[in-house]
Amino acid sequence: DIQVTQFPSSLSASVGDRVNITCRASQAISSYLNWYQQQPGKAPELLIYGASTLRNGIPSRFSGTKSGTTFTLTITSLQFEDFATYYCQQGYTSSLYTFGQGTRLDIK
């Protein structure tokens, strides 16, 4: 099974900051890595798919990059509504998708 290790598990930042969240896959998954944002009590929302493609309607302060089996979600100029939990998900093995452990982003 492909494991996806996400870190950090939690992060504190201020409005206007830039933050990075990382996921590392246990083996090569090409660009089959997706990012989600989950607000408390809500369903996850797709932000980025294919490692770096921003979903329509998602602000451009969100971006995704890939380097080998390491994937990074960057949020520049944090806004109040960005404080949430973020998950990565590998879609490479269609018989068993796996999610990262999640990163909780709090206001400092």
Partner 1 sequence: QVQLQESGPRLVKPSETLFLTCSVSDDSLRGYYWTWVRQSAGKGLEWIGRIYINGASNYNPSMKSRLTMSVDASKKEFSLTLTSVTAADSAVYYCARDREDSFGQLDYWGHGVLVSVSS
Binding site for partner 1 (CB under 8 A): 31-34, 36, 42-46, 49-51, 55, 87, 89-92, 94-102
10 Cβ partners below 8 Å, 6+ apart?
Answer: 103, 104, 105, 106
What number of other Cβ atoms are within 10 A of residue 8's Cβ? Answer: 14
Comparing CB distances to partner 1, the nearer of 6 and 78 is 6
Q: Which residues contact 31 (CB under 8 A, 6 or more apart)?
A: 50, 51, 52, 66
Nearest CA among 51, 50, 4 for reference residue 26: 4
Query: By C-beta, is 61 or 104 nearer to partner 1?
Result: 104
In this complex, which beta carbon is closest to partner 1, that of residue 67 or of residue 94?
94
CB of 18 vs partner 1, minimal distance in Å: 24
